[in-house]
Structure 1
Amino acid sequence: MKQIFKKTILAAAIAGLSNYAVAGEVINDTIKYSTEGLKTLAPDAEKTIESLAYELGANYIASDEITITFSPAGSLSSFDADGYIIAEGDVEGDSITFSLLSQTDDSVTFRVTAVTDNYDTTDTEVDFGAALLNVSSILADDVSVTYSSIKAGSDAAFDEGFEGSNTGVLTSTASQISAITVTDKFDEVIDVDSGRTQFEFSGEDSMTFEIENDTSLEDSAAFTNTYVEIEIQTIEDGEDLSFLSLNGEADYDDGVLYVDYSGAVTTDTITVDVNPGSHTSLVAQAFSVSAEYFDGEADEEGEDTFSAGEDVPAGEWTLNGNVVNIPYMPFAPGISQILYVTNSGDFDGGVYVTAYDEDGTEYDLGMVATAGASSVTKITAQVKDALAAEGFEKGKLSIDVTVNAPDGDITVQAAYNIGSDRGFVITDQYKKSDTYEMMP
């Protein structure tokens, strides 16, 4: 037989009120499990709630029944209870005895078999035994328990007063690892005057990531490895970055740098070192980072890996290219535009265009063309098509043209035709140079 919990003293606020009704109350605190920890277990694994503790909210007599129902359906694997359960009162000799009456897949029912004479069972705390729950059910949803009581010889419900709660959540789950965040992004500028062989400000760049690992959760996973992947999206065509030197162990494969850590790493600063002698030229890049944890205690299904976030923006490398502003360019039916970029240097350069209309609306058109080395590139159609794709077809614009090439190598020519008349636009290059030749 099992004996646990003595009857509590009534609160002073209700002392002496013999007809004061309260409801039974679930005493169990919710156990919050690690989602990752449970997933490393076998599919048919179980977790035990050691004692189902309930405070009676009414005066029970012999043959009253109390049913404990588990939700969702199928969450109860088995129930471990003695044939008789005795809960004692504050006064020596006072007790209430329950016997196990029946059990289904989702519930157990007890019947009161004995109550000490003149013993009011209200506020008595009872341990009804241990419940074994299916791990699969715990992972699927919160598992709750509900106590319901009926009077002896009838179906009349009782112990359902307005205070307390006869339903409680036994288990819940939470992810042990948070999504990866980037607190310090890659942000270097590639120096076009160096032939794109080095950064403008230093020889290295860094990115710092953070991941939370909440080991306070029940059955938290003990991760044995952390994998961080830095994906590189090339903004312009160029060589790969396999030549880069990284702190720590890293492998490069098809646009991704893989960093492997031992244990559960939650933060690190990854530094990229550029050696000018090991490559021909750097290109503009955008970076994103992904991470996953590996639990070494793999089951027969294979290794257990858990994502800590995918494709989180981690910064970019830009180029300190030439920027020319075209202060005025009209667009309307009957008006045609003339836009040329001349590159007199030895390096190709991506041409990026940003436009602003009379209302201040910005149209970031991205890279519209490549200005080849020692060549003239017409960008009229590309700019017009890109503007149309952004919903702009008529009005006046100010246009910034950025070319990733040394400043002295780039010239931008701008004009427009209205019928047989041509209007030449003076760009801000006039302020930078005494010599400027218009494209006919």
Structure 2
Amino acid sequence: MTDSTANADFRDPNTTPPLSNAVPLGLQHVLAMFASNVTPSIIVAGAAGFAFGGADMVYLVQMAMLFAGVATLFQTVGIGPVGARLPIMQGTSFAFVSVLTIVAAQLGMGAVMGAIVIAGIFHFALGSVIGRLRYLFPPMITGLVILTIGLYLIPVGIKYAAGGAATFQMEAESFGSLAHWIPALTVIVVALAVKFYTKGILSAAAILVGLIAGYIVAILFGIVNFGGIGKAAWFALPKVFPYGFEVNMAAVIPVVLVAIVSAIETVGDCSATTKGGAGREATDEEIAGATYADGLGSAVAGVFGGLPNTSFSQNAGIVAMTGVMSRHVVTIAALILVACGLIPKIGALIATMPLPVLGGGVIVMFGMVASAGINMLSEVQMSRRNMVIIALSLSVGLGLNLVPTAVQYLPGVLNTLAISGLLPTAIIAIALNLILPEEI
């Protein structure tokens, strides 16, 4: 789809394009976010010690699709004050991955789900005050946070591309072999070729096309196991607290703090959607509604074993590219995801994707997250003050994550916060930005 697809009326969120346009546009939104949506679930499943491709991982992938769709419906259709009623696509948030992997590994999935539900409720409550918190997150802070998320996750992509990690019970002697790197590199090369040498839906789904190409190569190398597909059902409803529900403050506090960052991210995506699609600023009502939908979507997902949701920036880019602001187009995308989430065989098929193939995709995705942060920071005046804030925040935040034993004597909650990577960076940056005087 190109700018010529859009009709001037399509810039009205309440306009319904003809199905001949609406269905392909909705599918385009799904393809653009599909790989990014399911990847966090696979990563957290691995940290929790779930067998790669096993029933628990399949279920998490299934919930990622189902509740991305449900949360998107909260945004596009709305319930009372909930929902921006804009074409905002929701998906599983990468921002929480750094914290949730630590919680899953140390405290278990019951603590993960308890933290997600509580953080979702807190996130929902932020909808009434989000406008007054925006001053805490100027572009320098937001860009730094996004950069930190990308830098924290990049090593995960390299480990996956080389063959996985101990949590996935991969053979140590095969780690780094060509049998792993060739499928991973296939994903990267094909994704780049499709992104820059094609247009429209195909270009928007470049990562997904790359993953399919890498998957085919992995089949040729004999590293794909289809055993789980036959065991999966054709239809299944989600379960209430399938991993239990535990309130552990060592999990709750960091996840709640990340929810604040996620809320600010949604404010940015809401503004980008209206600016790119309709050439106007988002209203206070739209921003509040988007934040309510974010929190409600995450809390509901946690009840059924899903991970937190947030708005997806790449889909805001699609709105800007096509000029189609119709929320009904994204509603179609949401219904596609809900249908996928109710069919476990789809989740089982995704879970057969070998780690090297996934690694090739996430190297690109995580690198793009870091690049987005750098892009935001490029708009910040690099004064000595701002450079000191960036330097100290990154050094301490990522340093403690890389050397967790440096704070091994901190009690549970503080230890989890300190080694999360994201939270120390964000807290130090916000504090210094408020304390240090502006340079004259």
What TM-score results when the alignment is normalised by the length of structure 1? Answer: 0.17
More strand by share: 1
Which of structures 1 and 2 has the larger relative contact order (alpha carbons within 8 angstroms, sep 6+)? 2
- The structure whose Rg is larger is 1
